[in-house]
Amino acid sequence: MGNSYIPSSVRLERIEEETDDTRTFFFDRKIDSRPGQFLEVSVLGYGEAPISINSSADENLRLTIRSVGNVTGAVHRMKPGDEMGIRGPFGRGWPLDEMEGKNLLIVAGGIGLAPLRAAILDIIRSRERYGNVALFYGARSPELIIHKKELGEWAKEMDVKVTVDVCDEYRKDICSAWKGDVGVVTTLFDKYRIPEDSTAFVCGPPVMMKFATKELLKRGFTMDRIYVSLERHMKCGMGMCGHCQIGGRYVCKDGPVFSVAEFVKWAEKPEEMEGVL
Ligand SMILES: Cc1cc2nc3c(=O)[nH]c(=O)nc-3n(C[C@H](O)[C@H](O)[C@H](O)COP(=O)(O)OP(=O)(O)OC[C@H]3O[C@@H](n4cnc5c(N)ncnc54)[C@H](O)[C@@H]3O)c2cc1C
Ligand code: FES
């Protein structure tokens, strides 16, 4: 086994725009990973950032990255042919093996659809292994929806509902063409049928995960049937430095995917609950 502190290099092949500040980057090789795992991505002179693996096992590596700072900004300035470093894959992903025969509700907000893409493709590839599957996806406005083309494809295999927070006068040009729902993603819980006795996979901004969790609990979901993928400040990515520690656990190694039941047991302080309850 190689040294997990030493990055290996990947070459960028092409880039697809998702939104104004978010792009999907396609690289030259496959990574042996499970849906929901992440990489530590490094650009020489800028540092490292944890980024979820967007590709399924049979695709070359792809990463969907929003430009928010140092490293992600440097990745956005890369051109096809440029190389960057990766370490990993790290972490525990979505518990798909435990979902065999079960119904699933996937709830995503904004760029939170990116860490769920590999799980969605795995489910579609072995569709017969699962019961009813619904994907509820919310974005702030139509132009902020990512993986737009694929959403239509996925709708052939599962119940896909997409909503936007706002479509008002101010956004008339964009919103006149919008045919989906309007309202935050949790409003879909009352508008559409949630597969019976389903397990929920939730990923999005902390405030969205918090409200989605609360609303699911109100609708009879138990904490062990709600999984969230958490974002915390990370350095090593593999349980060595303690940066991402919550209670006695490490988000990088023991997560980033946790059931709410596990999380509630481990979290010791109210601020550690951010993005969960
Ligand atoms: C497991 C995991 C998976 C993730 N997956 C993805 C993914 O798939 N795609 C994706 O785009 N992101 C993902 N992220 C988030 C990403 O890692 C962070 O956004 C990361 O901080 C980006 O690094 P950066 O160097 O570009 O940004 P930074 O330079 O670290 O900046 C990040 C944010 O912090 C603010 N900031 C920076 N320095 C300061 C300061 N001194 N004071 C106040 N604010 C400051 C910036 O304004 C910015 O809003 C993931 C995170 C985790 C933990
Ligand atoms: S990032 Fe170092 S322990 Fe999690």
CATH number at residue 71: 2.40.30.10
What share of the chain has pLDDT > 70, as a percent? 96
246 lines ligand 2 (CB under 6 A): no
pLDDT digits 0-9 by tens, 125-158: 999 999 999 999 999 989 999 999 999 999 999 9
Q: Do 162 and 239 reside in the same domain of the chain?
A: yes
Closest CA to 93 of 148, 150, 146, 54: 54
Cα–Cα distance between 235 and 252 in angstroms, integer? Answer: 9
Structure tokens at 254: 């023991």
114 lines ligand 1 (CB under 6 A): yes
Query: 83-111: b or e for each residue (b if 16 or more CB lie within 10 Å)?
Result: ebbbbbbbbbbbbbeebeebbbbbbbbbb
pTM: 0.94
Q: Do 65 and 162 reside in the same domain of the chain?
A: no
- Can you give the pLDDT at residue 170? 60
Closest CA to 212 of 230, 224, 200, 222: 200
The residue whose CA has the least distance to atom 10 of ligand 1 is 65
Is residue 275 over pLDDT 90? no
pLDDT digits 0-9 by tens, 192-241: 999 999 999 999 999 999 999 999 999 999 999 999 999 989 999 999 99
Number of domains in the chain: 2
49 lines ligand 2 (CB under 6 A): no
pLDDT digits 0-9 by tens, 246-266: 888 999 999 999 999 998 887
- Can you give the pLDDT at residue 239? 93
Q: How far is the CA of 264 from the centre of ligand 2 (A)?
A: 20
- Can you give the pLDDT at residue 180? 86
- Can you give the pLDDT at residue 263? 85
Let me know if residue 2 belongs to a domain: no
Cα–Cα distance between 90 and 196 in angstroms, integer? Answer: 32
Single residue among 68, 90, 112 that ends a domain in this structure:
90
Here the CATH number for the domain that contains residue 160 is 3.40.50.80
In terms of residue numbers, what domain contains 73?
Answer: 8-90
Closest CA to 19 of 179, 192, 203, 148: 148
242 lines ligand 2 (CB under 6 A): yes
Is residue 1 over pLDDT 60? no
Q: Do 224 and 158 reside in the same domain of the chain?
A: yes
Cα–Cα distance between 270 and 43 in angstroms, integer? Answer: 35
- Can you give the pLDDT at residue 138? 97
Single residue among 60, 75, 90 that ends a domain in this structure:
90
Residues in the chain: 277
Cα–Cα distance between 195 and 142 in angstroms, integer? Answer: 26
- Can you give the pLDDT at residue 2? 72
pLDDT digits 0-9 by tens, 92-110: 999 999 999 999 999 999 9
| Other beta carbons within 10 Å of 132 | 16
For residue 63, give the ligand 1 atom closest to its CA.
8
Beta strand 199-203 pairing with 226-229: parallel
236 lines ligand 2 (CB under 6 A): yes
pLDDT digits 0-9 by tens, 23-61: 999 999 999 999 999 999 999 999 999 999 999 999 999
- Beta bridge partner(s), residue 77: none
pLDDT digits 0-9 by tens, 66-88: 999 999 999 999 999 999 999 99
As a whole number, the mean pLDDT across the chain is 93
Q: Which of 87, 246, 252, 258 for mutating ligand 2's site (highest number of atoms within 8 Å of CB)? A: 252
The answer to whether 133 and 155 are in contact (CB under 8 A) is no
Q: Do 69 and 120 reside in the same domain of the chain?
A: no
Q: Kindly give, in sequence order, each residue whose CB lies less than 8 Å from that of residue 21, ignoring residues fewer than 6 positions away.
A: 66, 67, 68
Single residue among 36, 65, 90 that ends a domain in this structure:
90
pLDDT digits 0-9 by tens, 153-200: 999 999 999 999 987 666 666 677 788 899 999 999 999 999 999 999
Starting at the edge strand found earlier in the chain, the sheet holding 133-139 runs 181-182, 159-164, 133-139, 104-109, 199-203, 226-229, 257-259
The residue whose CA has the least distance to atom 21 of ligand 1 is 49
Q: Do 60 and 175 reside in the same domain of the chain?
A: no
